[in-house]
């Protein structure tokens, strides 16, 4: 074996123990190999430099210091030695995806980012208590394995390979905040170098995460800002001083809450990649699975016996067909039922029906009702009540009652229509408008314009935030009637609109029930402020897209938005579309809102 590390080739045996498999990285005369430990029969990470390299003493010392920190998240140092002109360190092999590769697909969700960094911070805090430091805590040295667990690569060793001094615990603290920053926005602000793109800066300090990406929770933004820019904010603007790995860990644990389900979620996220095992092991296992069972399953595959037990479901004898043939002797027909006699619609009159034959038998006689006996022949034009019975006999009994009822109903309908028309004409007559309120609700509200409407509830409205939130705890200050209290937006580096992070933010007022709104009075802080008002029947779930009921750009601190007549709704959205400039930022502020009917 030669003394020059570059002469090591795939398949070489180093120290009579480690077979070199894959060269993963080469930088500044140092090599990083995936190797196979022939003694322990497992894969290892193999770092090697020349024995005469100035970093060799640092590397040996770093390996000894790393071995003093025992933590399941640290990939341990297994061996370190100088022989045959080379200096090498052997670590456990980790299988998974490094954080820089994970962030290549985009930033992580806030809770997932906080959990990953809290796991790293807990391990680093324990190492700091022992007086040891990682020295180069970059995204490339954080691994999420296939079980969803967090692993830390190159503890103390990676810094030595880069020629960095030992014991830089302050660097670990800044790099921890940098890891959180990178997980939230996908850019690297730490002091150590990384392959991730650098974070944008202002006055030599990285921009806080909320100014780079919308929707960053304030607690995580505060952690990054306090550690990465400790002198950028004014004194007293933050209540917690975070200056250690333990402080970062505690702040992130408070944000994450119960972390019990996070490791399982990371396991679901974990990709099936990387250097988990040499490819030569795969073909030895794959053919064995289908080879033996296939001939054994062949005789079991025919399902012929199964139809027989299934054919007797519910006792139906499908194995015989004679049960479907008709009977030889048909059953006797049922007894014939007599049709019931038709019932007339109206009851017959038994008195008038016998008169028809009586009139035909004696057409020239009539029977006076007062004598009870005939008087003999007489003229047919007598004064008796039954001179001509034919018209009475032709009428259907009960039809006269229907005609009478129809006449009464028509008369009642006509009288009702006349009364309604008279009342309507009387109410609409006169040259002067009536001062008395009408009986309907909307007209009553229109008769007293300008009255303040009571707001049942108010909340901040930030549908394009991730997660949405624009100081919700201050929303009630905008309707308390006190001009000394106000609700404000976050500070933005760009104004809303085209090219900005958002279309707008605002406040959503719940009036409790549908109400006619004539105007909205605003007391603002700062100018100019672009504001639009929407009156909605339903609670909105996304940024407004239609035409607002009213819009304006307030040059001062007072603004009144007059709405079209008969604008009615339960929800009133005060939507800020542009913000006044405050220093180098843009921020809106509303001191008071009054909704008028």
C-alpha to C-alpha distance for 221 and 536, rounded to whole angstroms: 34
Which own/partner pairs from 384-393 qualify as long-range (CB within 8 Å, at least 24 positions apart)? 386/355, 389/352, 389/355, 389/356, 389/359, 390/359, 392/352, 393/352, 393/353, 393/355, 393/356
Give residue 434's pLDDT. 42
Output the CATH code of domain 96-269. 1.10.510.10
The residues spanned by each domain of the chain are 5-92, 96-269, 457-596
C-alpha to C-alpha distance for 516 and 518, rounded to whole angstroms: 7
Q: Which residue has the tokens 């770093």?
A: 62
| Burial class of residue 528, CB neighbours in 10 A (0-12, 13-18, 19+) | middle
Q: Can you tell me whether residue 51 is helix, strand or coil?
A: coil
- State how far the alpha carbon of 218 is from the alpha carbons of 170, 457, 473, 486, in Å: 24, 24, 13, 19
> Token pair for residue 353?
């029906």
CB 252 within 8 A of CB 118: yes
Residues of the chain with pLDDT under 50: 1-3, 234-239, 272-321, 323, 358-388, 392, 427-447
Give residue 33's pLDDT. 94
C-alpha to C-alpha distance for 74 and 92, rounded to whole angstroms: 9
Give residue 353's pLDDT. 55
Taking Cα atoms as reference points, which of 114, 60, 54, 67 lies closest to residue 89? Answer: 60
CA angle 171, 177, 180 (to 5 degrees): 140
pTM summary value = 0.49
Q: Can you tell me whether residue 461 is helix, strand or coil?
A: strand
- Sign of the dihedral through C-alpha 180, 181, 187, 193: negative
For domain 457-596, which architecture applies?
Sandwich (2.60)
Give residue 316's pLDDT. 41
Give residue 264's pLDDT. 59
Which neighbouring-strand residues pair with 83?
86
C-alpha to C-alpha distance for 232 and 584, rounded to whole angstroms: 14
> Token pair for residue 379?
């003229």
Model confidence over 259-314: pLDDT tens digits? 666 665 665 565 544 433 332 333 333 333 333 343 444 444 444 444 444 444 44
108: part of which helix (H) or strand (E)?
none
> Token pair for residue 511?
């009036």
For domain 5-92, which architecture applies?
2-Layer Sandwich (3.30)
C-alpha to C-alpha distance for 419 and 8, rounded to whole angstroms: 111
Give residue 546's pLDDT. 86
Which parts of 4-122 are beta strand (E)? 13-14, 18-27, 30-37, 42-50, 77-83, 86-92, 96-98
C-alpha to C-alpha distance for 475 and 488, rounded to whole angstroms: 8
Give residue 225's pLDDT. 92
CB 455 within 8 A of CB 566: no
Q: Return the biggest CA–CA distance within the chain.
A: 164
């Amino acid at each position: 074996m030669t003394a020059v590390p570059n002469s090591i080739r795939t398949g070489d045996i180093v120290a009579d123990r480690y077979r070199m498999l894959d060269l993963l990285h080469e930088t500044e005369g140092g090599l990083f190999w995936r190797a196979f430990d022939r003694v322990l029969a497992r894969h290892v990470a193999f770092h090697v430099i020349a024995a005469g390299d100035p970093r060799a003493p640092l590397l040996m010392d770093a390996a000894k210091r790393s071995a003093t920190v025992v933590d399941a998240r640290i990939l341990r140092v297994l061996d370190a030695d100088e022989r045959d002109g080379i200096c090498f360190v052997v670590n456990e092999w980790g299988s998974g995806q490094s954080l820089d590769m994970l962030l290549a697909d985009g930033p992580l969700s806030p809770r997932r980012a906080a959990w990953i960094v809290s796991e790293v911070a807990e391990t680093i805090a324990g190492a700091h208590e022992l007086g040891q430091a990682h020295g180069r805590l970059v995204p490339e040295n954080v691994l999420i394995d296939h079980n969803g667990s967090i692993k830390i690569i190159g503890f103390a060793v990676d810094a030595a390979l880069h020629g960095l001094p030992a014991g830089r615990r302050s660097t670990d603290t800044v790099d921890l905040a940098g890891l959180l920053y990178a997980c939230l926005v996908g850019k690297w602000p730490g002091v150590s170098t990384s392959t991730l793109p650098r974070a944008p800066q202002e006055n030599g300090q990285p921009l806080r995460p909320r100014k780079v990406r919308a929707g960053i929770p304030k607690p995580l933004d505060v952690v990054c800002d306090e550690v990465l820019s400790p002198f950028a904010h004014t004194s007293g603007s933050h209540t917690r001083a975070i200056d250690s790995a333990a402080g970062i860990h505690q702040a992130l644990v408070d944000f994450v809450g119960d972390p019990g389900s996070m490791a399982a979620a990371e396991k679901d996220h974990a990709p099936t990649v990387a250097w988990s095992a040499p490819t030569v092991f795969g073909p030895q296992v794959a053919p064995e699975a289908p080879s033996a069972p296939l001939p054994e399953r062949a005789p079991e595959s025919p399902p012929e016996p199964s139809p027989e037990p299934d054919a007797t479901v519910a006792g139906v004898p499908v194995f015989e067909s004679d049960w479907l043939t008709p009977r030889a002797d048909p059953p006797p027909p049922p007894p014939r039922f007599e049709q019931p006699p038709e019932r007339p619609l109206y009851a017959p009159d038994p008195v008038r029906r016998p008169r028809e034959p009586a009139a035909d038998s004696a057409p020239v006689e009539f029977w006076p009702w007062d004598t009870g006996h005939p008087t003999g022949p007489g003229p047919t034009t007598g004064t008796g009540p039954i001179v001509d019975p034919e018209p009475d006999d032709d009428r259907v009994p009960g039809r006269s009652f229907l005609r009478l009822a129809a006449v009464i109903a028509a008369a009642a309908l006509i009288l009702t229509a006349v009364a309604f028309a008279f009342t309507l004409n009387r109410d609409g007559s006169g040259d002067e408008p009536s001062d008395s309120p009408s009986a309907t609700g909307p007209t009553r509200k229109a008769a007293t314009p300008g009255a303040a409407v009571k707001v049942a509830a108010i909340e901040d409205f930030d549908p394009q935030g991730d997660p949405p939130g624009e100081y919700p705890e201050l929303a009630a200050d905008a309707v308390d009637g006190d001009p000394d209290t106000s609700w404000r937006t976050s500070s933005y580096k760009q104004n809303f609109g085209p090219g900005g992070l958002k279309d707008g933010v605002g406040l959503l007022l719940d009036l409790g029930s549908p109400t006619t709104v004539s105007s909205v009075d605003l007391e603002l802080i700062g100018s100019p402020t672009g504001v639009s008002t929407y009156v909605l029947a339903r609670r909105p779930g996304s940024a407004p897209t239609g035409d607002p009921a009213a819009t304006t750009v307030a040059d001062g601190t007072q603004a009144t938005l007059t709405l079209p007549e008969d604008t009615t709704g339960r929800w009133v959205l005060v939507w800020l579309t542009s913000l006044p400039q405050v220093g180098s930022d843009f921020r809106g502020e509303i001191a008071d809102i009054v909704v008028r009917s």
